[in-house]
Amino acid sequence: MSDISLKLDSTYTNLPDIFYTELSPVPVTNPEVVIFNQKLAEDIGLDLTQLNPQQKADLLAGNLIPDRCTPFAQAYAGHQFGNFTMLGDGRAIILGEHLSASGKRFDIQYKGSGRTPYSRGGDGRAALGPMLREYIISEAMHSLGIPTTRSLAVISTGEIVYRENELPGAILTRMASSHIRVGTFQFASLHQEKPICQALLDYTINRHFPDIQDNENKALSMLNRVMELQAELITHWMRVGFIHGVMNTDNMAICGETIDYGPCAFMDVFDPSTVFSSIDHQGRYAYANQPVMAHWNLARLAESLLPLIDEQREAAIELAEDSLKGFEKIYKSKWLAMMGTKLGLQDVEPGDEILITELLDLMHEYSADYTNTFRDLIKKEPPSNKLFLSDGFNQWHARWKNRLQEKNQVLESSFALMSSVNPCVIPRNHKVEEALHSAEGGNLEPFHNLLTALSDPYQENERNHAFQLPPESGAKTYQTFCGT
């Protein structure tokens, strides 16, 4: 232990001890700060200015544990690609909970911090490239206005990790509103002890949904709130062409934040069946399937909550099913409203869904770039590509312009709305890989240039032009991997 005090809390360890194991990170040989998110630290009031550079690196790597901190790894279960298994933090340890000046609580977690009782044969470590990748993507998601875990720092360890090749080791220090997952509730329900499930429910509601504490059926109320949050989150993903890639129940956070950035990627050419993950052979987590899988995961949460929804199982099932039936309507409403804004429609009306789907069908037919197409609609001089030169698009474009002007809606206001929700810059997969390749070789300049471009993704400027270009035609098909 050290004499450093960060005033971190640890309310999670008030739960029954089956939910966690207290242990410290495995020390690393030579921790050095690769990148530290000073803006994030300032925003949440996390002051590390009292530390010298080595203390800062030691703290962010887990070599230095502040006084009165009791680090722990969480236990949970989950359906992974539809198969249920016991899981837990196999390479992650929560240092504690930071309370911001506004009263918001954040977990501070080390990812790549060594073996835990839940490692299942893994080494508990992480490589530099994947940790920098999570830093880039999570911070890009934040700038895009999408709920997400945040990256506080990446620390090189001075050690080698062994995957297919020898790779430089690293630790990601990340922050989240919490790491409570659907899989955490699945884990609780396995014990078939109502007090254990009740303790987790009460804790989660107190931490995330205090306004429903006095509701008559708290379990059902929480299910409804989580359903609303997930519908909102998936709608955001669909807005920017994000594909999570591994929507297992252990990767669905109850707080509604995007969590875990292993095989995720962003879609270039619009294709609803797009999959990047090397192991998703059936397209289970393809772009278009994401709302379907969110609904499936919510059903697993509902199953875990049944004993708390009603003592009579049949009554509990009926209440849960009635609730889950509402997801499709909630999501459809959010999706239509979102797609309407992408087309500058301030209010979606009957018939607009046809206008939306016709454009998406044309984009698919002509292999149009998802991100750039919506930005190109705003331009006075549209590009001369196959989509914009087609008769089908020109007919659609005329109907769209007429729709915008139906209620004397000023085109400038429609374009301003479109500019606020359609990003110019996303983490293009080829640009991310270029930045990571350079960083692994010791050159962080491309990494920082990409971060700068992604920090203001809705602002058009000449400096970011290179980051808006899709990969060259004929480029190798992009593929992502879970084993990072």
pLDDT of amino acid 33: 98
CA distances from 132 to 169, 197, 393, 447 (A): 11, 36, 40, 9
DSSP state letters, 148-202: B-EEEEEEEEEEEEESSSEEEEEEEEEEES---BHHHHHHHHHTT-HHHHHHHHH
pTM: 0.95
Neighbouring C-beta atoms of residue 360, cutoff 10 Å: 15
pLDDT of amino acid 474: 61
250 is catalytic: yes
* Residue 67 tokens, joined: 């006084």
pLDDT of amino acid 257: 98
Residue in the structure block whose two tokens are 């002890």 = 193
pLDDT of amino acid 1: 42
The dihedral built from the CA positions of residue 251, 257, 261 and 267, taken in this order, carries a sign that is positive
pLDDT of amino acid 408: 65
pLDDT of amino acid 443: 96
Catalytic residue of the set 58, 89, 107, 250: 250
* Residue 106 tokens, joined: 């954040």
pLDDT of amino acid 423: 98
The dihedral built from the CA positions of residue 369, 370, 371 and 374, taken in this order, carries a sign that is positive
Helix (H) / strand (E) element for 450: namely helix 445-454
Q: Mean pLDDT per 10-residue run, the chain (484 residues)?
A: 69 97 97 98 93 96 92 97 94 96 94 96 94 97 98 97 92 98 97 94 98 97 98 98 96 97 94 90 93 98 98 97 98 98 94 97 98 96 94 97 82 94 97 96 96 96 92 71 58
* Residue 144 tokens, joined: 């895009």
Q: pLDDT, tens digit, for every residue of 44-56?
A: 999 999 899 999 9
Coarse DSSP helix, strand, coil percentages of the chain, rounded to the nearest 5 percent: 45, 15, 40
